[in-house]
Structure 1
Amino acid sequence: MPSTDPRPPPAGASLEAKQDFAVAMIKDEQDDMDRRGWDVIMSEACFGELPRTDISRYLHTGEILCGMVIRGRLQAAAFGTFMDLCLQGVCSLNALEHPVHYNNGRIDSDCYIWIMRMLGAFNCFNADMQLVQGGWYMEVENRWIQYDVHSTWLLTMIARSFTSLDAVFNTIRAKGRLGPVNASRLKELEEKYPPDPTWKADININRTKGWHGSGTFEFWLPENIDPAITQLGVYDGIMALSKDFHRHLSRTEMHYAEFFDISRDEKYVEDVNFKLKGPN
């Protein structure tokens, strides 16, 4: 049965002990979705079913952890990028005060579409998820079909709060959190589809009336936050948001390392390409 001991099993522990430890964390993530009344969307395919019961959590512990690490690192790239933009003063934490519509295919905004195209030139948002999951030894029948909630989140937050699109993308390229950029694609977009200087941020873009979640298992990016957090100011607000986000991410990385006997003393490589390649 899932472990109630928060301490990781000792080195050389049995597979059963490592499963007990990991399954407890996976169950916590699923219980959080269940408490909110959130369900997964069809693109989650079989992966969205794996965390639902103790039986499937035990049968597929390794694959669930691999999927969680992939998603956690993609979310970390988006989260860190938006925090960079807020620190630079070219976006605002106020964008996080409203929920996001993750399945909205009818946004009539040239500005929103332009930002989406620009973000699509970065590796983090155009990686082949089937190849990525295969690189982490996830069986075909247990994979998700599509995963783009991290890009929808970042796109929405930028569109809601940017002060200068030039400054936004200069910062994104300088920080490099989204991985390598398709330079020719980016140049083509900038030359053929330059941004309209009259575009303004729209705090209500891609907003829902209720908070329905992302429709994906294990989603930690902040939205619909308490305005009291933004009232703390940029630095303290980012610290509060980062503490919560990285609590989830660090816990997942730790469970992955424990389950697969990976040394947690190894250097954590920040390059997105490397992080998505998996344990080959």
Structure 2
Amino acid sequence: MLKRPYPVAAGLMDKQDFAASMIAEEHNSFGRQHTEMLEEHFEEITRNDHSRKVAAGDILRGMLIRGRLQAAVFDVFMQLCLQGVCSLSALEHPVDWNYRAPEGTCLSWILRMLYVFGCFRVNWSSVQENWGIRPSRRWVEYDAPILWLGTMIGRSFTSLDVVFDIIRTTNQLGPIHSDSLTQLAEGFQPNEAWKADINLNRPQRWYGSGTFAFWLPENVEACIIQQGFDDAAMALSQDFYKRLERTEMHYAVFFDINRDVFDTDVQQGERDVRDWISEDA
């Protein structure tokens, strides 16, 4: 596990300066779309240089948590595309982060189905407490990854049954909450007439992700997707993991973690979130 106490005072100011520079870049990159996502105090402390330095440790903890969840979601969607039940073309359009799918629609069913998986059922207050993030610096909810995945599935699925069979067998999103699955099956069945809609949840223009430290691809240039799956997936993966690995590097420096520890952590499947997030589901 990569949870660490706050570093000792020696060299702390240098570490704070090093982290604050990267945090500022992330803050400036996430866009200006006004969203209803409950970022609360977490995003606020990334807005100015002083709070970025003072709260650097907690910001890095939060970025690592968010990055690991996004990595699991990203890998699941890539697997769906690799197996031909979804398409990378879904990534060509931006996402409306304020959209609320009407009850009874295809997207609302997809989202409710995703919510039966453990990583989307976590108690975020408990997760952040376990990682040592102070109460005054926490977020309330973090729905951006599930909305992204649900949107991309809804835009490009060939068979919802096969999509969720694959998601279940990958086991990257944590265990299924059986009671929630039973309730969904009894009260809301998918409509056989539903078809993928490439324009699903598409805003008129793109303002950015609208949430801090969010790296899942959207509004991707068509020329990247048209390269074919292998080349496109490689380009998308390089861009996503470059930002995640930069966060991991800053986290490791700040908390004095050897790079070999991170490499072992990744090899043992820590990035798929099952080991550290399912316990709070």
Whole-angstrom CA distance in 1 between matches of 2:205 and 2:223: 20
**Does 1:71 find its partner at 2:60?**
no
Whole-angstrom CA distance in 2 between matches of 1:23 and 1:273: 29
**Does 1:29 find its partner at 2:30?**
no
**Does 1:274 find its partner at 2:269?**
no
Alignment of 1:199-238 (within 5 A): 199-238=194-233
Q: TM-score, normalised by structure 1?
A: 0.88
Letter in 2 for 1:115: I
Match in the other structure for 1:5: none
CA displacement, residues 192-250 of structure 1 (integer Å, 9 cap, x when unaligned): 53322221101111110011233211111100110011101111111110000000001
SS at match of 1:17: helix
* Structure 1 pair 108–229 and aligned structure 2 pair: CA distance change class (3 A): farther
Match in the other structure for 1:181: 176
Whole-angstrom CA distance in 1 between matches of 2:245 and 2:25: 15
**Does 1:19 find its partner at 2:20?**
no
Q: Show structure 2 runs of 5+ residues with no match.
A: 1-8
SS at match of 1:44: coil
Letter in 2 for 1:128: N
CA displacement, residues 38-95 of structure 1 (integer Å, 9 cap, x when unaligned): 5665611111111111101111000000110111111111111111100010000111
CA displacement, residues 141-195 of structure 1 (integer Å, 9 cap, x when unaligned): 1111111000000000000000011110011011111111113432443455332
Deviation at 1:114, TM superposition (A): 1.2
Match in the other structure for 1:102: 97
Letter in 1 for 2:120: F
Letter in 2 for 1:274: D
Deviation at 1:105, TM superposition (A): 2.1
Letter in 2 for 1:19: Q
The CA RMSD measured in Å over matched residues stands at 2.1
Runs ≥4 in structure 1, deviation > 6 angstroms? none
* Structure 1 pair 42–123 and aligned structure 2 pair: CA distance change class (3 A): closer
Q: Show structure 1 runs of 5+ residues with no match.
A: 1-11
Q: Any conservation in 1 of the 2:175–2:278 contact (CA below 8 Å)?
A: no
SS at match of 2:109: helix
Q: Any conservation in 2 of the 1:135–1:277 contact (CA below 8 Å)?
A: no
Q: Any conservation in 1 of the 2:37–2:211 contact (CA below 8 Å)?
A: no
Deviation at 1:273, TM superposition (A): 3.3
SS at match of 1:43: coil
Across the two proteins, how many residue pairs are aligned to each other? 265
SS at match of 1:72: helix
Q: Any conservation in 1 of the 2:35–2:97 contact (CA below 8 Å)?
A: no
Match in the other structure for 2:156: 161
Whole-angstrom CA distance in 2 between matches of 1:202 and 1:109: 16
Whole-angstrom CA distance in 2 between matches of 1:13 and 1:237: 44
Deviation at 1:276, TM superposition (A): 3.5
* Structure 1 pair 130–137 and aligned structure 2 pair: CA distance change class (3 A): same
Q: Any conservation in 1 of the 2:173–2:274 contact (CA below 8 Å)?
A: no
Whole-angstrom CA distance in 1 between matches of 2:101 and 2:194: 19
* Structure 1 pair 39–188 and aligned structure 2 pair: CA distance change class (3 A): closer
SS at match of 2:260: coil
Deviation at 1:29, TM superposition (A): 0.8
Match in the other structure for 2:122: 127
Identical counterparts, % of pairs: 51
